[in-house]
Structure 1
Amino acid sequence: MIDCETEINQGRRFAFGRNWLRFGQLIDEERIAHARRSLEKALGTHDLTGRTFLDVGCGSGLFSLAALRMGARVRSFDYDADSVNAAEKVRREFAPDGDWSICRGSVLDTAFVQQVGRADIVYSWGVLHHTGALWAAMEAACGLVAPGGTLYVSIYNDQGAESRMWTSVKRRYNKSGPVARRMLLTGSVLYLGRHYPARAALSLAKRAQGTAEASVPRPRGMSRKHDLVDWVGGYPFEVASPEEVFTFCRERGFELRHLKTCRGGIGCNEFVFAGPVAGG
């Protein structure tokens, strides 16, 4: 396996796991409830009893925990060792006796993916576009879905020139030192808030700097501060239009069941697909 830490030290990859470890300190029952509700809404069910849930790129482990609370048998993996540590910490704190396994691995590692095996629900929210090989990662994720199962993914929206601009920002962030990173973060916050009223833009900046406002959960239970850092630093970075994701999955026998777009703007488009049945 390619050394994730080496990639980070060389400025070729954002330290996603370090960010998740910091976010993990904020996880509480309120955030877990937010995460669970978002899963329930997208999957169209409150009960995953008897179903297997595979979290590809588990990050903090928050959504693995939410699936576990819904009754699923959960398997999680992540390429970043710090993310694995973050998820293990959440498991120890909130589900020490739960049916939940966590390991380190890459969705691009064919031998590893074969060992993982298929699952009823394959979940990968905001992950595959950070692998450096989006469509190969999508292919692997599709292959992990058990016959008649569910694929739940979110992929950054393709904004054309603006996406290319953000790719440049992210690349520069990861090759910069602490001072330059703070400057890029501040500049990005001001850019993102340029159309907001002055008070709202100031609030956004405060959240990015880690004030108490950052502790307010977002709809999925996430943290605005940590999401901002992830957005500015998140590299590798690839994007796709909703049509590209839909076509890719349809060609592999998947049928769209749920779609939530970012309305052509910044952020992720969210998809839930029903997988082909055996022999289909």
Structure 2
Amino acid sequence: MTRFAFGENWQKFLTTLTEAQIIAAETALKTMLSVESLAGKTMLDIGAGSGLHSLAARRLGARVVSFDFDAQAVACVNSLKQRFFPNDANWRIMQGSALDVDFMRAAGMFDLVYSWGVLHHTGEMWKAIELAAERVAPGGVLFLAIYNAHWTAPIWKQIKYCYNISPPLVRRLLIQLFSGLKFVGAWLTTGQSPLKTSRGMAFRTDVIDWLGGYPYEYASIDAIVRVVEAKGFQIHKVVPTAGWTGCNQFVFHR
């Protein structure tokens, strides 16, 4: 299967990570979860990527288990742990697949299962959502971010596929082209400067992640809510994407 190397992008992102970005990630978690602390809670970070939000959760007091399918991403998370929480028994890091039933069940149950912008890249989004939901303990929280269904989404799927099969020179040209298009498009659709990124992210990292992110699936808000609520959850908060094809954010309570 054609698959984007997310870990390489995250390694570059970490070279410029600042304390302000970490604080922004903490703030985003607290805001969406309506909490000031995660002390005493356990969190499973599915598709931890750079490890930024695992780090944010750990700094907020959670006991964290992070995993990613991509070996380079796992290395990123390990590097953050060594930098901020060396030899910490309350932060475990693994390599594994969100689609691996045995791996997921062996991970255990958690107060918070977090997967931001990940499950739509697995190639089997609905299965991944089901397995993630199974890891939420009774009374726990499922926090997902999933790409929005929009009429342009099938077009983007083809663009992403072409990017991933293109040689490096073509990829670099596409990054330059779409950086400009994303900047203008985001400004026009949201009325905000895309350079002011949220959750501690960075504009160029987001551009490459968006352009290369393949496999690529998407769903409407109603579809996500309907499927997850059928598994015994109640929707607590929805934050729709400010643009057309960005991520809708969902917080479900079990």
User: Which range, TM-score by smaller chain?
Assistant: over 0.9
TM-score by length of 1: 0.85
Match of 2:199 among 217, 220, 236: 220
Cα deviations by residue, 1:205-263 (Å, 9 ceiling, x for unpaired): xxxxxxxxxxx772210011001000001000000010110101111111111111114
Bigger mean CA deviation after superposition, 93-102 or 173-182: 93-102
Following the alignment from structure 1 to structure 2, what is the Cα–Cα distance between the partners of residues 267 and 16? Answer: 17
Deviation at 1:169, TM superposition (A): 0.6
* Residue aligned with 1:249, SS: helix
1:18 aligns with 2:17: no
For 1:87-236, list aligned pairs within 5 A: 87-98=77-88, 99-160=90-151, 162-194=152-184, 218-236=197-215
Task: For structure 2, list consecutive stretches of 5 or more residues without a partner in the other structure.
Answer: 188-192
TM-aligned CA distance change 1:70 to 1:193, over 3 Å: closer
What is the letter of the counterpart of residue 46 of structure 2? V
Residue of structure 2 in register with 1:57 after alignment:
47
Residue of structure 2 in register with 1:278 after alignment:
none
Following the alignment from structure 1 to structure 2, what is the Cα–Cα distance between the partners of residues 148 and 194? Answer: 42
Residue of structure 2 in register with 1:43 after alignment:
33
What is the letter of the counterpart of residue 267 of structure 1? G
Residue of structure 1 in register with 2:228 after alignment:
249
* Residue aligned with 2:86, SS: coil
TM-aligned CA distance change 1:195 to 1:150, over 3 Å: closer
Runs of 4+ aligned structure 1 residues displaced above 4 Å come to: 193-197
Deviation at 1:95, TM superposition (A): 1.4
TM-score by length of 2: 0.93
* Residue aligned with 1:13, SS: coil
Cα deviations by residue, 1:94-148 (Å, 9 ceiling, x for unpaired): 1114310000000100111111111100000000000000000000010010111
Following the alignment from structure 1 to structure 2, what is the Cα–Cα distance between the partners of residues 95 and 245? Answer: 35
Following the alignment from structure 1 to structure 2, what is the Cα–Cα distance between the partners of residues 102 and 192? Answer: 33
TM-aligned CA distance change 1:144 to 1:170, over 3 Å: same
* Residue aligned with 2:146, SS: strand
Deviation at 1:74, TM superposition (A): 0.4
TM-aligned CA distance change 1:145 to 1:18, over 3 Å: same
* Residue aligned with 1:272, SS: strand
Deviation at 1:29, TM superposition (A): 1.5
Whether the aligned pair in 2 keeps the contact of 1:169 and 1:184 (CA below 8 Å) is no
The number of equivalent residue pairs is: 249
Q: CA-atom RMSD, angstroms? A: 1.8
Whether the aligned pair in 1 keeps the contact of 2:43 and 2:63 (CA below 8 Å) is yes
Q: Identity over aligned residues, as a percent?
A: 42
Following the alignment from structure 2 to structure 1, what is the Cα–Cα distance between the partners of residues 165 and 24? Answer: 35
1:28 aligns with 2:18: yes
* Residue aligned with 1:96, SS: coil
